[in-house]
Amino acid sequence: MSTEPRTLPADTAPPEPSPALSELAAQEQQLTLDRLLEESRQIRGTSLWSDAWRRLKRRRTAMISMVGLVVLVLLAVLTPLLPLQSPIDKDLKYRRLLPPELTPVTMGSREGLDFAEQSLVAELKRFNAEIAELQQQRNATTDSAERKRIDEIIAGRTKVEHPFNQLWNQLGPVSWTMCQMRVAMFGDYAIPSLFGTDKLGRDLLSRVFWGARVSLIVGVVATLVSLVIGVSYGAIAGYVGGWVDAVMMRIVDILYSIPFIFVVIFLITFLGEDSVKAWLQARGIEQITIFYFVIGAIYWLTMSRVVRGQVLSLRHEQFIEAARTIGASPLRIVFRHLVPNVLGVVIVYLTLTIPAVMLFEAFLSFLGLGVAPPDVSWGQLLNDGVEALSSVKLFWWVVVFPGAALAATLFALNFLGDGVRDALDPKMKNRD
Amino acid sequence: MSPEARKAFLTIAAVCVVAALGWASLFDSLPPAEFSLQSGSDVKTLDPARATGNIEGRILFEIFEGLLKKMPEGDPDPVNGLQAMTPQPGMAESYEVSNDNRRYTFKLRDGVRWTDGTPVTSYDFAWSWQRVLHPATASEYAFHLHAIPFAKAYNEGVVEVGDRVEVELWDRPGETPTGRGTHQNFPRGTILYGTLREIRKPPEPTAEQKKANPDAESEWTEQWLYVVDVAKLDQDGQVDWDGPTERQTFSANLQSPLADETTQRSHGVLVAFDKLGGLETPDPRTLIVNLTDPIPYFPNLVAFYTLFPVHRPTVEKYGSPMFTKAENIVTNGPFKLQLRRLRDRVRLVKNEDYYDADKVSLKSVDFLSMEGENTALNMYETGQLDWVTMPPETVREVLKDREDFYTAPQLSVYFYRLNVARPPLDNVLVRRAIAMAIDRVEIVEEVTKTGQIPATTIVPPGFAGYESAKGFEPNVARARELLAEAGYPGGRGIPRLTILYNTSEGHRSIAEVVQQQLQNNLNIAVELQNMEWGSFLDKVQQTDYQVARAGWIADYPDPNTFLDMWVTGGPQNNTNWSNAEFDKLIAEAARETDPQERMKILQRAEQIWVDELPAIPMYFYTSINIVKPYVRGFAPTAQDVHPLQLLSIDPSRR
Amino acid sequence: MRNLAGYLIRRTGWMLLTLWIVYTVSFILMRSVPGNPFSSERTVPAAIERQLRARYNLDATPTRQYIDYALGIVTRGDLGWSLRLEDYSVNQVLAEGFPVSASLAIFGLVFAVGLGIPAGVISAVYRGSLADVSMMAAAVLGIAVPNFVLASLAILLFVFGLAWFPAAGWGTFNQIVLPALCLGAPVAAYIARLTRAGMLEVLTREHVRTARAKGLSDQAVILKHVLPGAMLPVVSYLGPATAGVLTGSLVLEKIFALPGMGSHFINAALQRDYTLAMGMVLTYTVILFVMNSIVDISYAVIDPRVKLQ
């Protein structure tokens, strides 16, 4: 993907050797040419990206940030595997608003769960034994109707009565398997409440982890949506210019002023209609997907402005003119030549959009669109946390840990963003 | 742009910034009031007829005063510290009740005055009550007056041929005979009285027309032609009903196909409420109220703000709502309105002309609007606020043990409505199983935390003479049995339930705990769905939900307020629940004259409700207040009413 | 100056067009969301709701309402009566709220600019130094910590820890300091970052090298030749930022109990107060347009090459 103005455009042919030169000279020429071609091939090999990557690797903060982010994403993905406490089990009686502590917790020990031997492992064993017994009954009978009946009971019980349902909320098949592996690996052990507990007696550490899954997906998907819309829109407006640009930008102006809150409420109602629900379900679209798109669709406006401004200043640069002379199509110019050149600005703006989106998610949850309890996100954890920041009694851990998680992620994103921006910027090439 | 222009521009910009800073630093700072309290969000209105909320009520009780007012009776209860509040003489120095409890004679105090110096008379009350009842006032609590003869018909605009009616001509100030009507219903247009002889109606629009044009119905009713035998008034303004009459026709729409050139345009025809003896005002100091039903709680209604008087000349001069502006409003309470700033404060100052002014200690009071619960507590802790009415949930436990914390049971209930038309909740066994599987003690002790009482019936305790029906017994084992009986053994096969609630920390916490309890105890998977207020109400009122959070506060101190809402098709029912026996009992209770017998009938109705459970009661609320120790005279009360005239500040402790 | 006048006329034309479109779209949106302005926990009887609808002209056909309301705005500048704050007209609500939001915004912005630009300049000039790193870290923090968290922490520190300021309320200079700081902090952080980026960009340009070569002092070079060019992104950010800050902050208004406009916007929408919500939307549109126009003019002032178009 070579798109930088510094690299040779792929469609230019090598110059023809002159016929007026002597044989020897021609041979020498040929050699030089070969060498040059060879060289240019090597140059073409170092594209913008590998070049940028090379420079990025030299920035220590950026690399640390990147590693941090990768670890974070991995942890978020693997959360069900970790020996965390249940993110939804509320021990109202004994564990409300506990400060951070180091005493390990046994899974399933809360009285209200009514687990065998007050342990998840024992309960699982008991449950599996019951199912096995049913299975035996099934195998013992020969009556097919009876078999079918028992099969149904087994299926129903595994679905409804499985102890996992008490500790985790609506696990998908992958997470379910991961939870089973977690129990196999760690048994009843769970990491102590290192982050304390919230006002309903849930472990904050595991909520921060489970919340990361939601927040990261929201942040990334919504930002990508806003990126795609905003960059295309802005680049086209800026490149085409004239009245098209004027009209497109006025549309952005208008959209800025449209009260999005009504749009969201309208959407919630619309999506809540039974017919719409059925339509979506038939196509396998979840409400949450639409939710990501809503956020992205709200956040692309500024992005499009930023990109347009950049494109405006770039479109008369020589490399664009060059591309135009060799007959590249406008779309190709916009997406192959212009867009990569505004990436620096876009990336910086992206690092600012992700946190905004994560917090915006909490506001949308307030309106009723977003993750519903008992699932949680960082934004919602923070909202709850701030409620607990009282002058009368300070439950600091409720806000500090989710806040720190969010802040650390954003720090990393910012440093990485700065690094990538600098690495992509040709002018920065020899500055480090 | 030339360099000079640029320089000039920069200079202008600099000047602008400095000027802006200067302007922004000019504060019209207000010296703090002697006493400040938290007042929640902004008050909707200060018009007693239109007001509905607690927050409005708190201010209205201070600036206006009714014939009666809620004041402490006797000493606080030695056990729970509750102060009994009963209706006691306010603007009226005394009142008498006839033996059949159907005729109240109020005698006004001598020398009670409005803040503009004019005397408060019985005419003011009669006029204000009629204003409450007038349909165009759109008073939501107008039903408080429905026990007065013809009040209900007047309020609902129901007239029948043969009724003695009033006709308001289309000549309110600012109206032209052909133009649009003004909604300023006071001052009124010319009023004619007479007997309704006939209502002529054009053909009613068909169902299809109504569907095509939602206004078809109202356009049709506007075309009705009323034929009235208009009577004459004598010198005293009394109607000579049986004297000579003149037949006239009236319609709201002169384009009506039935109208002829003699037809007069009118705002409508209502029963002549004020001429039919429901309210009698023999002299300026006497108001006689006749009731059709002997409702035992009528004095309580009189002490409620809807029945407070408003100053007729002010209302007629400025119109509504302009008469409520601080510079216009004329009131008669212990305090008067000095200033009202949105989202900031309502400042009241002592009314020196109040008849009991010697006993009012506070000189000025600020009702500070604030929505943040932590904000209010912060201001209280730093001394900017003396009374917090909504302390934050998280620290209630800590606050509970402080000496400045007051809590009292309230006549209100928190419950979950069940949509009984949707499976599986159409099955009473499922409803009962869910109700029994919820651990209310856990909710009140660990979530709400301030002494709420777990509820297994719908009527809260505390109504004199009423004994609640026997509630169900929460019991998880029994709940499981019931669920199995209903065809869902072990919770298998039961569809997911969705609990709908309006967005709020408190409601969410409770819903989350209920979610866990139902999952743990019955294996019922519960989803939570929150919505902002507007959409939430819409869903509930369309009964488009499975389970929806709700709360109900007593409108008047009688169990009926918690029961008659459940009658078939009642506007507050919203559950699709219908029970003929229940409806019959409620209707019977309304007619019953013996108070004891009436309470027994209501109890039977409540028993049906408990057996059927169209909703799951959760708990009975408590009121919570935090008041500085230097404030004297504050006592917890069952209705959470705390007249400011009882409060004073102990300077030695401040 | 002529092109300035022409520009202003064109902008005004655009603004009117935008206002009309925004009005239309908002009008349709508001009527299509569920719920109505008169509903409450206790269901309002149908007869009363009908009266209320008549009072606020909501019983007319939608087209009629659309035209009547627009006519009221155009001919009398009257945004109608608020449907929820019954005793107030929308104009009165705005008149009470705007000055508060405006003075808060002025303090917040002055603080943001006063802190952000020097911080950005210093960290660009001393690139890579400890000062640069710590200031940019602070700026990231300023952006990363949501202002409701910041405000709550600030209250704990400055009100309960140090007892410098009152906890909340409005009316004295003391009461405005904390909210203005919290309002300005993220703006300051953005400005610092933009300034720094802009400075770094300009510092490499030819004319700066020339100026240096001429022997001008570092200070003069930075103030006269670098800073103006570096201000362009800051200025273009300030336009929408000012509009945002001016229309108030819901969260800060709640935490500090300020009588600004911000909470009306959300509250009006949530309570279906059509008139107030419309008033807020139109006000916001006007403010945004005015601010963006000022930004465009400032561009022309700062950068001689830019022409007002």
Q: What is the pLDDT of residues B60-105, one digit of tens each?
A: 999 999 999 999 988 888 877 788 889 999 999 999 999 888 899 9
Structure tokens at B16: 């602008």
At residue B421 the predicted structure's pLDDT band, cuts being 50, 70 and 90, is: very high
CA A177/CA A164 separation, integer angstroms: 11
B571 touches chain C (CB under 8 A): yes
A344-363 confidence digits (pLDDT tens): 778 878 887 888 888 888 88
Q: What is the mean pLDDT of residues C169-197?
A: 89
Answer whether B24's CB lies under 8 Å from C107's CB: yes
Answer whether B231's CB lies under 8 Å from B240's CB: yes
At residue A430 the predicted structure's pLDDT band, cuts being 50, 70 and 90, is: very low
Residue B526 phi, psi dihedral angles, 5° rounding = -120, 130
Largest CA distance in chain C: 84
From the list B373, B512, B525, the residue facing A90 with the nearest CB is B512
Would you call B537 and C35 a contact, using CB atoms and an 8 Å cutoff?
yes
Cα distances (Å, whole numbers) of residue C185 to C10, C116, C150: 35, 9, 9
B527 to chain A: which residues are within 8 Å by CB? 372
CA A97/CA A252 separation, integer angstroms: 46
Higher pLDDT, B482 or A265: B482
Would you call B344 and C42 a contact, using CB atoms and an 8 Å cutoff?
no
Through-space distance between the first and last CA atoms of chain C, rounded to whole angstroms: 13
Three-state DSSP state, B93? strand
pLDDT of C40: 79
Answer whether B145's CB lies under 8 Å from B279's CB: no
Q: What is the mean pLDDT of residues C271-280?
A: 91
CA C286/CA C283 separation, integer angstroms: 5
**What percent of chain B has pLDDT above 70?**
100
pLDDT of B379: 92
Give me the residues of A, 194-233, that contact C with CB < 8 A: none
CA A358/CA C144 separation, integer angstroms: 11
C235 touches chain A (CB under 8 A): no
pLDDT at residue B344 tops 80: yes
pLDDT of A14: 40
A139-186 confidence digits (pLDDT tens): 888 888 888 888 888 888 888 889 999 999 888 889 999 999 999 999
Residue B21 phi, psi dihedral angles, 5° rounding = -60, -45
B525 to chain A: which residues are within 8 Å by CB? 160, 165, 170
* pLDDT, averaged across chain C: 86
Would you call A156 and B493 a contact, using CB atoms and an 8 Å cutoff?
yes
pLDDT at residue A18 tops 50: no
Answer whether A380's CB lies under 8 Å from A362's CB: yes
The H or E element spanning position C288 is: helix C274-302
Give me the residues of A, 126-165, that contact B with CB < 8 A: 153, 156-157, 159-161, 165
pLDDT of B437: 95
Answer whether B55's CB lies under 8 Å from B635's CB: no
List of chains touching B (3+ CB pairs within 8 A): A, C
pLDDT at residue B50 tops 70: yes
Cβ contacts below 8 Å, chain A against chain B, sum to: 107
Which of these ranges, A33-37, B50-54, B479-483, B628-632, has the smallest mean pLDDT?
A33-37
Task: Kindly give, in sequence order, each residue whose CB lies less than 8 Å from that of residue B452, ignoring residues fewer than 6 positions away.
Answer: B414, B444, B619, B620, B621, B622
Chosen from A251, A257, A427 to mutate, greatest number of chain C CBs within 10 A = A257
In terms of Cβ atoms closer than 10 Å to its own Cβ (0-12, 13-18, 19+), residue B588 is: middle
DSSP assignment string, A42-86: HHHHS-HHHHHHHHHHH-HHHHHHHHHHHHHHHHHHTGGGS-PPP
pLDDT at residue B117 tops 80: yes
pLDDT of B572: 87
Cα distances (Å, whole numbers) of residue B395 to A31, A393, B381: 85, 7, 13
B534 to chain A: which residues are within 8 Å by CB? 265
Among residues B551, A262, A374, B418, the alpha carbon closest in space to that of C34 is found at A262
In terms of Cβ atoms closer than 10 Å to its own Cβ (0-12, 13-18, 19+), residue C91 is: middle
Cα distances (Å, whole numbers) of residue B286 to B126, B289, B309: 10, 10, 14
Answer whether B370's CB lies under 8 Å from C257's CB: yes
From the list C169, C170, C301, the residue facing B10 with the nearest CB is C301
User: C-alpha angle with apex B477: B475 to B478, nearest 5 degrees?
Assistant: 65
B530-589 confidence digits (pLDDT tens): 988 888 988 898 898 999 999 998 888 889 999 989 999 888 899 999 999 999 999 898
Structure tokens at B129: 């009550």
pLDDT of A211: 93
Would you call C271 and B533 a contact, using CB atoms and an 8 Å cutoff?
yes
Largest CA distance in chain A: 100
Distance of alpha carbon B8 from the chain centroid: 60
pLDDT of C197: 83
A258 touches chain C (CB under 8 A): yes
DSSP assignment string, B514-529: HHHHHHHHH---EEEE
Please say whether the dihedral angle defined by the alpha carbons of residues B185, B190, B194 and B195, taken in this order, is positive or negative: negative
In chain A, the residue whose alpha carbon lies closest to the alpha carbon of B372 is A387
Would you call B532 and A90 a contact, using CB atoms and an 8 Å cutoff?
no
A93 touches chain B (CB under 8 A): yes
A427 to chain C: which residues are within 8 Å by CB? 201, 204
B47 to chain C: which residues are within 8 Å by CB? 86-87
Structure tokens at C249: 């902050």
Q: Which range scores top for mean pLDDT: A339-353, B262-276, C136-150?
A: B262-276
ipTM confidence score: 0.89
Would you call A373 and B377 a contact, using CB atoms and an 8 Å cutoff?
no
Beta bridge partners of residue B406, listed in sequence order = B625
Among residues C272, C134, A279, the alpha carbon closest in space to that of B534 is found at C272
B423-475 confidence digits (pLDDT tens): 899 999 999 999 999 999 999 999 998 889 999 999 999 888 899 999 999 99
A410 touches chain C (CB under 8 A): yes
In chain C, the residue whose alpha carbon lies closest to the alpha carbon of A408 is C144
Q: Which amino acid appears at position A66 of this protein?
A: M
At residue B1 the predicted structure's pLDDT band, cuts being 50, 70 and 90, is: low
- Pairing mode, strands B497-502 and B547-553: parallel
- Pairing mode, strands B68-72 and B35-38: unpaired
Q: Which amino acid appears at position A309 of this protein?
A: G
pLDDT at residue A226 tops 50: yes
* pLDDT, averaged across chain A: 83
Cα distances (Å, whole numbers) of residue C184 to B23, B91, C105, C116: 18, 53, 8, 10
CA A86/CA A74 separation, integer angstroms: 19
Would you call C55 and B183 a contact, using CB atoms and an 8 Å cutoff?
yes
Q: If you compute the radius of gyration of chain C from its CA atoms, what whole number of angstroms results?
A: 24
Answer whether C226's CB lies under 8 Å from C216's CB: no
Which of these ranges, A79-93, B424-438, B616-630, C231-245, has the smallest mean pLDDT?
C231-245
In terms of Cβ atoms closer than 10 Å to its own Cβ (0-12, 13-18, 19+), residue C158 is: middle
Q: If you compute the radius of gyration of chain A from its CA atoms, what whole number of angstroms results?
A: 29
Chosen from A258, A260, A262 to mutate, greatest number of chain C CBs within 10 A = A262
CA A400/CA C156 separation, integer angstroms: 14
CA B314/CA B186 separation, integer angstroms: 10
Task: Kindly give, in sequence order, each residue whose CB lies less than 8 Å from that of residue C274, ignoring residues fewer than 6 positions away.
Answer: C30, C31, C37, C58, C83
Placement of tokens 């020498």 in the chain: A28
Quote the pTM value: 0.88
A131 touches chain C (CB under 8 A): no
Which of these ranges, A31-40, B43-52, B304-313, B353-362, has the smallest mean pLDDT?
A31-40
Which of these ranges, B475-479, C71-75, C169-173, has the smallest mean pLDDT?
C169-173
B378 to chain C: which residues are within 8 Å by CB? 155, 159-160, 167-168
CA–CA min distance A202, chain B (Å) = 11
**What percent of chain C has pLDDT above 70?**
97
Cα distances (Å, whole numbers) of residue B19 to B12, B24, B28, B98, C110: 10, 8, 17, 71, 12
Higher pLDDT, A427 or B99: B99
A91-129 confidence digits (pLDDT tens): 998 998 999 999 888 898 898 888 888 899 999 999 999
In chain C, the residue whose alpha carbon lies closest to the alpha carbon of A411 is C140
pLDDT of A402: 92
Please say whether the dihedral angle defined by the alpha carbons of residues B74, B75, B76 and B79, taken in this order, is positive or negative: negative
CA B116/CA B124 separation, integer angstroms: 14
Give me the residues of B, 6-45, that contact C with CB < 8 A: 6, 9-10, 13, 17, 20-21, 23-25, 27-30, 41-42, 44-45
Would you call B538 and C34 a contact, using CB atoms and an 8 Å cutoff?
yes
Cα distances (Å, whole numbers) of residue B456 to A172, B411, B462, B598: 37, 15, 15, 22
Cα distances (Å, whole numbers) of residue A425 to A431, B304, B505, B508: 11, 73, 47, 49
Cα distances (Å, whole numbers) of residue C33 to A116, A258, B253, B546, C49: 50, 14, 33, 21, 18
